[in-house]
Amino acid sequence: TQQQAITIAHQPGMTRDRHPINVFANVSSINHTQQAVNYGAEGVGLLRTEFLYLNRTTAPTEEQQLEVYQAIGQILEHRPLIIRTLDIGGDKSIPYLGVGLESNPFLGWRGIRFCLDRPLVLKTQLRAILRASFRHQIKIMFPMIATVAEIQAAKAILTEVQGELRQAGIPFDEAMQIGIMVEVPSAVTIANQLAREVDFFSIGTNDLSQYVMAADRTNPKVANLADALHPAVLCMIQQTVEAAHAAGIWVGLCGEIAADPLAAPILLGLGLDEVSLNPQAIPAFKGAIAQLTMPQAQAIVTAALQQDSATKVREIVNYEL
């Protein structure tokens, strides 16, 4: 019933056999965060910070960013907030930052690649995030990591900023967790090495699918190929989860696929510790996993991984539910 659905939405994500999974929200504004809490989000698994940089002529200052991160932290109260550093490029253009036109923007100067080349932009953002971490439960996440050198370079800049804040007597959370998005195929294949560098992974299936299938997610002629339920992608999610757990770190997923009701048993069965999805999709996701046991979800995954198309994966899930 409607009442049961509302009750489940505001309880922690849990299977019928009491296996917990954190159900977080993807958000990109202050209002959106309030909506996420209303829909039963247990935290924010992906704050897309690009919105702070859009519709302006200069980058937002440290104080401007701090204000927004604090406002979002206040709405979330005790709930965790994972802030992703600027992921400009690809389909997101911000003219004053000077990325310019590229012939292959999704293979170009985006995310962490841009930020490592423009350390002042990154440092301003890191200072604001660290300062907000003093009063709010914040974790930081770097996008588009493809190599160990990139995460090491990002961490070196973070360490530098932490040193500056300490020197100035500005407080921040010394134990703040650091994570990366796993959304480039190379990150999956070297996940064991990357796991030694961070506290958590969050799998970005929007980009991972387009890169695994070599299909631009914004090109309608081929976008349907970039389906996160294709066994080729599921296999990479499985590999990432195994590498994370073998290294003793937690692993979530924040691609749009999590909002597909047919994906719920698969994401659960793959062993993810957290999923982050569109706020409106949270009640249905929690409702779906509340009907399932972990062994049922694992059996669905085993069957799904043996299929040769996303269509057949959907049929399997439909049949089993």
Tell me which residues touch ligand PEP (CB under 6 A): 46, 48, 87, 183, 204-207, 254-255
227 contact choice in Mg ion, ligand PEP, none (CB below 5 to 8 Å, kind-dependent)? none
Q: Give the x/- contact pattern for Mg ion in 176-195, rule: CB under 5 A.
A: -------x------------
Quick check: 240 and 182 in contact, CB under 8 A? yes
Residues making up the chain, counted from first to last: 321
Please, what is the minimum distance in Å from the beta carbon of residue 309 to ligand PEP?
21
Residue (147 or 162) nearer to Mg ion, CB: 147
Please, what is the minimum distance in Å from the beta carbon of residue 45 to ligand PEP?
9
Q: Which stretch binds Mg ion (CB under 5 A): 102-110, 198-206, 243-251, 288-296?
A: 198-206
Report how far residue 216's alpha carbon sits from residue 274's, in angstroms, rounded to the nearest whole number: 27
Please, what is the minimum distance in Å from the beta carbon of residue 227 to Mg ion?
16
In sequence order, the β-bridge partners of residue 241 are none
Please, what is the minimum distance in Å from the beta carbon of residue 257 to Mg ion?
12
Q: Is 207 in the site for Mg ion (CB under 5 A)?
A: yes
The H or E element containing residue 138 is strand 138-142
Tokens of 292: 């399932």
Using CB atoms, what's the residue nearest to ligand PEP? 204
Please, what is the minimum distance in Å from the beta carbon of residue 90 to ligand PEP?
7
Among candidate residues 107, 71, 288, 128, the one with its CA nearest the CA of residue 215: 107
Residue (259 or 316) nearer to ligand PEP, CB: 259
Burial degree of 110 (CB within 10 A; 0-12, 13-18, 19+): buried
Please, what is the minimum distance in Å from the beta carbon of residue 320 to ligand PEP?
25
Tell me if residue 46 falls in helix, strand or coil.
strand
Number of separate helices (H) and strands (E) present in the chain:
14, 8
Please, what is the minimum distance in Å from the beta carbon of residue 256 to ligand PEP?
7
Q: Is 45 in the site for Mg ion (CB under 5 A)?
A: no
In sequence order, the β-bridge partners of residue 253 are 203, 275
Q: Is 197 in the site for Mg ion (CB under 5 A)?
A: no
Quick check: 125 and 86 in contact, CB under 8 A? yes
255 contact choice in Mg ion, ligand PEP, none (CB below 5 to 8 Å, kind-dependent)? ligand PEP
Tokens of 146: 């493809």
Residue (9 or 212) nearer to ligand PEP, CB: 212
Report how far residue 153's alpha carbon sits from residue 189's, in angstroms, rounded to the nearest whole number: 20
Report how far residue 33's alpha carbon sits from residue 72's, in angstroms, rounded to the nearest whole number: 7
In sequence order, the β-bridge partners of residue 182 are 203
Question: Quick one: which of 204, 252, 265, 283 contacts Mg ion (CB under 5 A)?
Answer: 204
Distances (CA, A) of 200 to 81, 140, 214, 262, 286: 13, 10, 26, 25, 22
Residue (46 or 161) nearer to ligand PEP, CB: 46
Residue (46 or 304) nearer to ligand PEP, CB: 46
Residue (54 or 170) nearer to ligand PEP, CB: 54
Q: Which residues sit at the interface with Mg ion, rule CB under 5 A?
A: 183, 204, 207
